[in-house]
Amino acid sequence: MNPTSQHSIRWTAGRAVRIAALAACLGLSSNACRVEAPERTQAEERASATGYRGILLADAEPRPDFVLTDVNGDALDFRSDTEGKLALLFFGYTFCPDICPVHMASLAAVKRDLSIEEQRRMRVIFVTADPRRDTPERLRDWLGNFDTDFVGLRGSEAEVDRIMLSLGLPAAIRDTAAGPDYAVGHASQVIAFPPGDGFRVIYPFGTRQADWQHDLPRLLDP
């Protein structure tokens, strides 16, 4: 074999190896799309079983009956004022550094994706577990950062704790001895009461916007 043909074979082989390597890399890239698909979250597993990505409580009692004060000083009767609507109830506090703002931001973002008519048929209700610091003005401003339609409710600590206990949630723990920047331990789930009652769905912290986007239309029209 003359040197020219040897060189030509080596050059062709080298090029083939490079092309194969490139194809393998690109193949890996396209396979990556498939790596994503089979991964299912716990929420998706739940949805395949119950239809909801939240935790379905099928034998739940009717929505709770309590009256608290909104940021304008008006009384809000939870049961009668949310009747026929999807109510999303959450207990938190405005100084919360993590769970509360994340839940509210997620709900606000997904709510904006709904039609106006659907938005009218739902209420997001935030009950402060820290009424000492969460003044009506602070509560209004804080909720307004997310969505001006979100309803903020206040009551005495004892009242709020009693409502939480009645829903099977632990009472809030207010570490007031830690100084003015004290933390409040509180339940981290949003409770969804669909329009017809009969069941409720629990959304723990970790619920993604994708989960809300999946469940909200089903909760509005169960």
Partner 1 sequence: MSGLQWWCSAQTAAWTWSPRPFPGVWLFVGLLVGLYWLLGRGAEGSTETSVRPGERRSRWAWFGGVLALWVALDWPVGALSGYLASAHMLQYLLTALVAPPLLLLGVPGRAWDRLAARSGVVRVLRFVTHPLIALAIFQVVLFYTHLPSVVDRLMVTPLGSFAIDTLWLGGGLIFWWPVVAPVPTRPRFGYALKMGYLFLSTVLNTMPYAFLTFGELPFYGIYELAPPVSVLGAREDQQVAGLLMKIGGGLVLWTAITIQFFLWYAREGEAEGPAPAA
Task: Examine residue 7 and tell whether it contacts partner 1 (CB under 8 A).
Answer: no
Tell me: does residue 181 bind partner 1 (CB under 8 A).
no
The smaller minimum CB distance to partner 1, of residues 34 and 84, is found at: 34
| Of positions 145, 156, 166, 176, contacts partner 1 by CB under 8 A | 145
3-state DSSP call for residue 142? helix
Question: Which residue pairs, CB below 8 angstroms and at least 24 apart, start in 152-155?
Answer: 152/70, 152/71, 152/126, 152/128, 153/68, 153/69, 153/70, 153/76, 153/125, 153/126, 153/127, 153/128, 154/68, 154/69, 154/70, 154/71, 154/127, 154/128, 155/66, 155/68, 155/69, 155/127, 155/131
- Interaction of residue 22 with partner 1, rule CB under 8 A: yes
Closest approach, Cβ 178 to partner 1, in A, equals 15
> Does 94 help bind partner 1 (rule: CB under 8 A)?
no
- Can residue 36 be called a binding residue for partner 1 (CB under 8 A)? yes
Interface contacts to partner 1, rule CB under 8 A: 17-19, 21-22, 25-26, 28-29, 32, 35-36, 39, 97-98, 101-102, 105-106, 108-109, 113, 145, 205-206, 208-210, 213
